Amino acid sequence: MSKKTLITALTYAGTLPFLGCAFLTLSDLSLNFLPIAASEIARAYGAVILSFIAGSHWGLVLNQKAYLDILIHSNIAALLAWTALLIPMQSGLLLLTGLFIYLYLIDIVRLNGKVIDKDYLALRRNASGVVVLSLLAIAFM
């Protein structure tokens, strides 16, 4: 398996919990076997994934491929993702939604061409779109 294929597969696999939680939230299925609501799972998973993306920006800076201000942006995003776990559910989901958009915009504005290529940007756009739409569906149901 090529590196590009693996990155694509793992990225899209990472969206499945968001899609699953959105499906469970939008459906009337009784899920008594889950210890917490699907919205809580999505919020926690979202904070983890968002922190992972923010951390990947650190790797770019450490390899001297990205601007130093990326460190500040990624720290702000990671701290706000943690904050999303501490505030009311809908507010936390909406905060995470905004943060996923924010990190994608950083990729477009600050990393496009210099560090990441168009194929990866398209992958990030698609995955971020799935995540954002899933979080919005969960937040407003």
**Average pLDDT of adjacent 10-residue blocks, the chain of 141 residues:** 94 97 84 82 98 91 79 94 98 98 91 80 96 97 87
pLDDT of residue 27: 87
> What's the half-sphere exposure (Cβ side, CA atoms, 13 Å) at 138?
32
pLDDT of residue 35: 80
pLDDT of residue 91: 98
Distance CA 19, CA 137 (A): 10
pLDDT of residue 30: 63
